[in-house]
Amino acid sequence: MERLRSVCDGTFKKVLHMNPMLPMILPAAQVRLITQFSRMAIESQMVIGLRLAGMMGIVAQAPGEPFMMVAEKHAAVSESLFAMASAGMRGHSPERMMSAAMRPYGKRTRANSRRLSAPKA
């Protein structure tokens, strides 16, 4: 096991010499971030489409929806910055910091897509 670790460390050092950014983002973390970002992007496009349809009168929309659309951005930004700063102060990796920063936006886009796509009574 010790020999394997030394061989892996030697290989890693060679790769690190070629690409100094490698320790920042590891493949598994990249996949997680891409998945998180992709889900959020798809849900946000759905929310934008549903809100535009509501503004045009195609779909029934709550009276305060345009105000909510603007007001939720401020809360999401402050939550996101706080989560990212907290992760950074705890010494987490850049991937975990980015993931923490995207989590509040993901929560809101998921909640909005569910709320706006729910059948209206």
Q: pLDDT by residue (tens digit) across 64-87?
A: 888 988 898 899 999 999 999 999
pLDDT of residue 42: 94
First to last CA, the chain: 63
* 27-54 burial: b if 16+ Cβ within 10 Å, else e: eebeeebeebeeebeebbebbeebbeeb
Report, as an integer, the average pLDDT of 6-27. 53
Tell me: pLDDT of 1 over 90.
no
Give the helix ranges, DSSP H, for the chain. Answer: 2-18, 27-56, 65-89, 94-117
User: Could you tell me if 101 and 34 are in contact, meaning their C-beta atoms sit under 8 angstroms apart?
Assistant: no
Tell me: pLDDT of 16 over 50.
no
User: Could you tell me if 105 and 83 are in contact, meaning their C-beta atoms sit under 8 angstroms apart?
Assistant: no
Q: How many CB atoms lie within 10 A of CB 108?
A: 20
In whole angstroms, what separates CA 118 from the centre of its chain?
A: 23
Report, as an integer, the average pLDDT of 46-64. 90
Tell me: pLDDT of 10 over 80.
no
In whole angstroms, what separates CA 117 from the centre of its chain?
A: 21
Report residue 7's pLDDT band, with 50, 70 and 90 as the boundaries. Answer: very low
Amino acid (1-letter code) at residue 84: M
User: Could you tell me if 3 and 68 are in contact, meaning their C-beta atoms sit under 8 angstroms apart?
Assistant: no
